[in-house]
Amino acid sequence: MTYTLTETNAAAVQPDISYHPDEAKYKQRTARRLAENPKLPKSQLPSGFPSNLEGPIVWEGADWTSEEQWVFHLTPAQLQEIDNALADFKALNEHMGYISKDTFPLPTLSAILGSLAAELYSGRGFFVLRTIPVDNYTRSDLAIIYAGISSHVGSARGKQDGTGAVLAHIKDLTLSHAHEKGGIGNAAYTTDKQVFHTDVGDLIALIALATAAEGGVSRISSSGRVYNELAATRPDLIKTLSEPWILDTFGGQPGYTTRPLLYHEDGHIIIQYSRRHFTGYGTQSRSPDIPPITEAQAEALDAVHFLAEKYSLGLNFQKGDIQYINSLGLLHARDAFRDDREHVRHLIRLWLRNDKLAWPTPKPLQPIWQRLYSVSPEEQRFPVEPEIRRKANGATK
Ligand SMILES: [Fe+2]
């Protein structure tokens, strides 16, 4: 579905909403919209959407009592398997794009990682692997180990940008990359809070090379839990989320794309979006020459954020942890943090997909998924130092 800039759209103004959710403004907007139309909470759910989603991926933070429920501790014998696999892969003298279950063999750990991968797609949707002794390895050996272990969770690696990078460094780059043309338009490269969102792709892996002096808690939340509350109290917002939205491409060509943010596909509830595409972030404000979002959409963005926050689980991310989450079924966020001389938060991200276990990709997302996972082994880059993601033309994104 495409939109044309009609006179009505051109005259419409962007709602008073920014990247950082403002609870007072959210409540005022809700009160205003309900006063204008008190029947909104009584509206019908869009056809095909369930009144209540059930299953292990529907949970709330308070349901979890101990991190031992989701942390898998690597034993010395398993760490030895990882060292052996590193040696095996290096002996092949192959491009790193060829790292796979076959070239990075883990005789006993592989089956365990396979069942943890099943937990991502058919269980609670997350787990943590603890602890990779990250200081024992060079950065490039660590990249092999990280991609190698992860290939037993999800066989396909996604590209992080237009230049074939499959590793993305998540670190405060505001000082080191202050010269970037166009500035930093993504909270991931700052110490700022990152609000609830999902990444593109099926699975997200994050390895912690170092944690911050203070803050930086990683939070996850069940999209199904958020969905159930909205379906019960504000079905009109479910309808809003399931209809096409205008996503800013921030100077890309075309200037915007359109698609829904919420899908019900093969029994799964999927929420897929990043708030900055509707509000802008930092130096990248919402493009003035594209249609604004609506008041209903502004309310829906805040409703999803605040419900996700209410039901979230904070993960105690430690140095050497690898956190795996299902980005189709869980939203995630990160608290603001403070680095100091000894503690400079540094994560490396991979996007993965397990082709055997994967959920069917909703049609409007398929072109993005195809682009993401179409990177050939030779094209894959494994940058060992932080860089800002780039489009194919070199512009930052
Ligand atoms: Fe993210």
Measured in Å, residue 32 CA sits from the centre of ligand 1 at 32
Measured in Å, residue 315 CA sits from the centre of ligand 1 at 14
Element (H, E) at 313: strand 313-315
Measured in Å, residue 198 CA sits from the centre of ligand 1 at 6
Please state, in angstroms and rounded to a whole number, the distance separating the CA atoms of residues 206 and 201.
Answer: 14
Give me the helix-helix angle, 295-310 and 23-36, nearest 10°: 130
Measured in Å, residue 190 CA sits from the centre of ligand 1 at 13
> Considering only CA atoms, which of 271, 330, 329, 267 is closest in space to residue 300?
271
CB 236, CB 40: distance < 8 Å:
yes
For domain 72-397, say whether CATH 3.60.130.10 is its number. yes
Helix, strand or coil for residue 340?
Answer: coil
Please state, in angstroms and rounded to a whole number, the distance separating the CA atoms of residues 329 and 120.
Answer: 9
Measured in Å, residue 100 CA sits from the centre of ligand 1 at 24
Strands (DSSP E) contained in 61-173 are 71-73, 126-130, 156-158, 168-171
Give the CB-side neighbour count of residue 364, counting CA atoms within 13 A.
20
Mean pLDDT by 10 residues, the chain (397 residues): 46 91 98 98 98 98 98 98 98 98 98 98 98 97 98 97 93 77 74 95 98 95 98 98 97 95 98 97 91 98 98 96 98 96 96 98 98 96 83 55
Measured in Å, residue 356 CA sits from the centre of ligand 1 at 24
pLDDT at 395: 55
**Beta strand pairing call for 346-353 and 168-171:** antiparallel
- Surface-to-core class of residue 267, CB atoms within 10 Å of its CB (0-12 exposed, 13-18 middle, 19+ buried): exposed
| 82-107 pLDDT, tens digit each | 999 999 999 999 999 999 999 999 99
Q: Residue 241: left (phi > 0), alpha (psi -120 to 50), or beta?
A: alpha
Measured in Å, residue 195 CA sits from the centre of ligand 1 at 9
Measured in Å, residue 320 CA sits from the centre of ligand 1 at 19
Q: Enumerate the domain spans of the chain.
A: 72-397
> Considering only CA atoms, which of 358, 361, 381, 378 is closest in space to residue 370?
361
pLDDT at 6: 44
User: Which pair of tokens denotes residue 194?
Assistant: 């990152």
Helix, strand or coil for residue 242?
Answer: helix
Q: What one-character-per-residue DSSP string does 262-311 give?
A: EEEETTEEEE---THHHHEETTEEPPTTSPPPPHHHHHHHHHHHHHHHHT
Measured in Å, residue 194 CA sits from the centre of ligand 1 at 8
Measured in Å, residue 9 CA sits from the centre of ligand 1 at 30
Helix, strand or coil for residue 189?
Answer: helix
Q: Residue 4 phi/psi, 5° resolution? A: -110, 155
Measured in Å, residue 169 CA sits from the centre of ligand 1 at 12
User: Which pair of tokens denotes residue 151?
Assistant: 């290939």
Measured in Å, residue 331 CA sits from the centre of ligand 1 at 9
Measured in Å, residue 197 CA sits from the centre of ligand 1 at 6
pLDDT at 178: 63
Within 10 angstroms of residue 6's Cβ, the number of other Cβ atoms is: 10
Measured in Å, residue 185 CA sits from the centre of ligand 1 at 14
| 249-267 pLDDT, tens digit each | 999 999 999 999 999 999 9
Measured in Å, residue 354 CA sits from the centre of ligand 1 at 19
| 266-275 pLDDT, tens digit each | 999 999 999 9
Long-range contacts of 288-292 (CB under 8 A, 24+ apart): 289/255, 290/5, 290/246, 290/248, 290/255, 290/256, 291/3, 291/5, 291/9, 291/10, 291/12, 291/246, 291/256, 292/9, 292/12, 292/13, 292/14, 292/15
| 359-378 pLDDT, tens digit each | 999 999 999 999 999 999 99
Give the CB-side neighbour count of residue 77, counting CA atoms within 13 A.
3
> Considering only CA atoms, which of 193, 158, 192, 190 is closest in space to residue 328?
158
CB 359, CB 202: distance < 8 Å:
yes
Measured in Å, residue 333 CA sits from the centre of ligand 1 at 7
Give me the helix-helix angle, 139-151 and 76-92, nearest 10°: 110
